[in-house]
A and B are shown apart, each in its own frame.
Chain A
Amino acid sequence: MAIAIMLITGIAGAGMYVMKLRADNATLKANQIQLETAITEQNKVLEQQKADFEAIMESNKKLNVLIGTFKKDLDDLDKRFTKKNRDIGKLALERTESIERIVNGGGKNAARCIELASGAEHTEAELKATLKSEINPECPALANPNYVPFQ
């Protein structure tokens, strides 16, 4: 009788253990699926982060180049006033009319630079300008993107 009880108890225990194992297996399978999904999502996030980082680097590079041209434009402007100890006041006294013409031309060019900086479209002549005589000397980098200054 006791052996029969032990046998039944043993079989029942084994059955319960198998059922527990099956339940564990199902849980582990579900976990596996969730982990795989999480890994795929993480990979997507990492790819997006990489793409964002590259876009930020590219944007930074462009803005740094732009700021570099600003400094050069300002230096060029100063040079036009002071090159070879040039005194614009003295020159205006000696050659009033020609300096007036130059100043008005410069003013016109500077106004065009402001228009372009505010988003105006380039004219065909501005885009085609490759010679020094064709460019807007107030802001060549902005006005004449195809002009490569001779170094």
Chain B
Amino acid sequence: MYHFNKILALALIVLLTGCSIGGEKKIKIFSVEEPRKKLDYPMPTPLQMEEIKWIIITSENADEVFKKLEEAGIDPVLFGITDKDFQVLARNFAQIRQKLQETNNLLEEYKKYYEDTGNSK
């Protein structure tokens, strides 16, 4: 009986601790830094402007201008602006051009800063 108890106790110990012998392998968690994908858009395609022909029409040359248009097969109609509005139009165009230039430069500077110096996060 004494031996039986001993064997039983030993069996009980093996039963309870058996799974822990050798043990579970420890999980190792490690992180690998994956750099953010670059937004690699090409720079916008430059514009190609079409030429506009300005015609100056005065009370004196109006007949001649319309006659020339008709002879060239162009509808004898002109969309006019005054000299003051022409000045405004020139200024507006200059401002649009400057905004375009500023935006393009900003884009280049951002690209340079975030791509050249590695500040891509």
Chain A positions near chain B (C-beta within 8 angstroms): 48, 51-52, 55-56, 59, 62-63, 66-67, 70, 73-74, 77-78, 81, 87-89, 92-93, 96, 99-100, 103-104, 106-108, 110-121, 138-139, 142
**Chain A proximity mask over B86-121: 1 for CB below 8 Å, otherwise 0:** 110011011111101110111001001100110100
Q: Count the A-B residue pairs with Cβ separation under 8 angstroms: how many?
A: 115
Known A63-B105, A96-B61; judge A119-B44 contact (CB<8 A). yes
B31 interfacial contact with A, CB 8 Å: no
Name the B residues within 8 Å of A87 (CB-CB): 83
Name the A residues within 8 Å of B21 (CB-CB): none
Distance to closest chain A CB from B79 (angstroms): 15
Name the A residues within 8 Å of B56 (CB-CB): 92, 96, 99-100, 103
The chain A residue sitting closest to B95, CB to CB, is: A74
B35 interfacial contact with A, CB 8 Å: no
Q: Which secondary structure dominates where chain A touches chain B?
A: helix
Name the B residues within 8 Å of A113 (CB-CB): 94, 97
Distance to closest chain B CB from A148 (angstroms): 20
Within 8 A of A (CB), among B43-62: 43-56, 58, 60-61
Contact across chains for B90 and A115 when beta carbons are under 8 A apart: no
Name the B residues within 8 Å of A112 (CB-CB): 49
Report 20 cross-chain contacts, Cβ distance below 8 Å, ordered by A residue: A52-B117, A55-B112, A55-B113, A62-B105, A66-B101, A70-B102, A73-B94, A81-B90, A88-B86, A89-B82, A113-B94, A114-B47, A115-B46, A117-B104, A118-B46, A118-B100, A118-B104, A119-B44, A119-B104, A138-B94
